[in-house]
C-alpha cells in the first residue's frame, strides 16, 4: 500500500536538493513559493490545502530524480488551470520548456474518455503520447494521477470506478511503456482496490499474514545471490528483492483460475550491473546455483522492449524449493 501520510515540502525539498545544484534547487523552491501563493485558500476534496497535491506530485518526480524543469512543472501543473496565473507568465519566469510541459499537462487533463475498451484505450494511449511532444509531460501527468489515486477515497463510488478503470486501462500501461515499474505497480494495485475491493483486500490480507515469512525468504535469497555473483569479480552490482504486487497476483488467480496457495512465485529478485557482459554473467551464476524453470527465460537485451528497457528475466527453483522470479538488468 502507498504511504497515506503526505510528505512535507521540507521532506520533498531534501530529496531533490541531494542531486540538483544549489541554483537549480533555488529555482525549484521558487516554483513552490509561486504555487503556494497562487493556490492559497484552495482546498482539495480531502479537506487539505491544495498545495499539498503539487508537493506530493513533485515528491514522486524527485524520487525518479527528474530534472529541474520537470520538478518546477510539477509544482505549477495546476496553476494555469485553477488560478489567475497564465502560461505566458510562467514562460517569462521559467522558460519555454516549463511552460510547454505545464501547457501539455493542462491539455491532457481536458481529454474526456468515452470508452476504456481495449482498442479505445490503446487509441487514447497513442493520443496522449502524440500530444506530449516532450515525454516529461506524460511523466508529470503520471505523477499527478498517482497522487490522485492515492486520495481517491474521497470521491463517490461511480467516480472512483470510472477513474480507476481509466487508470488501469490507460495510465498504468503508459507507465509500463516508459519503464516506470513502481508507478505502474502502484497504479494497478490502487485501481484494483476500487474495481474489485473484495478481492483486493482478500489478497492483501493473505499477503500480510505471510509478510514476515516472505521478508525472511527475500533476505536469505538476496544474500545467497550476492555471494554467488561476488565470486565472478565483476565489479559493482546491486541485489534487492520484493514481493509481487497485489494486482499481478489477482491476474494470475483470475486468468489461470488459481487459488492464492497455488501461486508460488510471489517473490522477485532484481540484480543491477554495469554492462551487458556482466548481466549475462550474473544470470549464469544464478542458474549455476539454482535450477531455472523451462520456458520462463526472456532476453530483453538481445530484443529490447520498445521503450529501451533491457534485462534478462528468469524463474528459478530457489531456496526451500520455492519459485522465484529473477531479473538481471543494466
| Active site members | 81-82
The conformation of residue 7, written as its DSSP 8-state character, comes to: P
Rounded to an integer, what distance in angstroms lies between the CA atom of residue 254 and that of residue 247?
10
Q: Are 77 and 102 in contact (CB under 8 A)?
A: yes
Of 179, 177, 174, nearest in space to 144 by CA? 174
Rounded to an integer, what distance in angstroms lies between the CA atom of residue 69 and that of residue 54?
14
The conformation of residue 245, written as its DSSP 8-state character, comes to: P
Beta bridge partners of residue 324, listed in sequence order: 267, 316
Rounded to an integer, what distance in angstroms lies between the CA atom of residue 125 and that of residue 254?
25
Angle between helices 276-289 and 211-230 (to 10 degrees): 120
Q: Collect all residues with Cβ–Cβ distance below 8 Å to 72 and sequence separation of at least 6.
A: 27, 28, 31, 94, 98
Of 67, 88, 87, nearest in space to 79 by CA? 87
Of 225, 317, 307, 221, nearest in space to 272 by CA? 225
Place of cell 474518455: 113
In this structure, the chain runs to a length of 330
Of 112, 194, 198, nearest in space to 160 by CA? 194
243: helix, coil or strand? strand
Q: Are 99 and 87 in contact (CB under 8 A)?
A: yes
Amino acid at each position: 500500500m502507498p504511504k497515506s501520510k503526505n510528505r512535507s515540502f521540507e521532506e520533498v525539498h531534501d530529496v531533490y536538493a541531494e542531486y540538483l545544484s544549489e541554483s537549480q534547487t533555488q529555482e525549484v523552491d521558487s516554483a513552490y513559493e509561486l504555487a503556494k501563493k497562487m493556490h492559497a485558500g484552495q482546498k482539495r476534496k480531502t479537506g487539505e490545502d491544495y498545495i499539498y497535491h503539487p508537493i506530493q506530485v513533485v515528491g514522486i518526480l524527485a524520487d525518479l530524480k527528474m530534472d529541474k524543469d520537470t520538478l518546477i512543472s510539477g509544482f505549477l501543473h495546476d496553476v494555469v488551470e485553477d488560478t489567475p496565473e497564465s502560461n505566458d507568465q510562467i514562460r517569462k519566469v521559467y522558460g519555454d520548456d516549463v511552460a510547454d510541459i505545464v501547457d501539455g499537462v493542462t491539455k491532457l487533463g481536458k481529454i474526456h474518455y468515452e470508452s476504456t475498451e481495449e482498442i479505445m484505450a490503446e487509441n487514447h494511449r497513442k493520443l496522449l503520447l502524440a500530444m506530449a511532444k516532450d515525454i516529461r509531460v506524460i511523466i508529470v501527468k503520471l505523477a499527478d494521477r498517482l497522487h490522485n489515486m492515492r486520495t481517491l477515497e474521497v470521491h463517490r463510488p461511480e467516480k472512483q470506478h470510472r477513474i480507476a478503470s481509466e487508470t488501469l486501462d490507460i495510465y498504468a500501461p503508459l507507465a509500463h511503456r516508459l519503464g516506470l515499474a513502481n508507478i505502474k505497480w502502484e497504479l494497478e494495485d490502487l485501481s484494483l482496490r476500487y474495481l474489485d475491493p473484495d478481492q483486493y483486500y482478500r489478497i492483501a490480507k493473505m499477503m500480510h499474514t505471510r509478510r514476515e515469512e516472505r521478508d525472511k525468504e527475500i533476505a536469505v535469497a538476496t544474500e545467497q545471490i550476492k555471494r554467488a555473483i561476488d565470486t565472478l569479480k565483476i565489479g559493482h552490482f546491486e541485489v534487492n528483492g520484493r514481493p509481487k504486487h497485489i494486482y499481478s497476483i489477482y491476474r494470475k488467480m483470475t486468468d489461470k483460475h488459481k487459488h492464492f496457495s497455488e501461486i508460488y512465485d510471489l517473490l522477485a529478485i532484481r540484480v543491477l550491473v554495469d554492462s551487458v557482459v556482466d548481466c549475462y554473467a550474473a544470470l549464469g551464476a544464478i542458474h549455476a546455483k539454482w535450477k531455472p524453470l523451462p520456458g520462463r527465460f526472456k532476453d530483453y537485451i538481445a530484443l529490447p522492449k520498445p521503450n529501451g528497457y533491457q534485462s534478462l528475466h528468469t524463474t528459478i527453483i530457489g531456496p526451500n524449493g520455492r519459485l522465484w522470479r529473477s531479473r538481471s538488468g543494466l
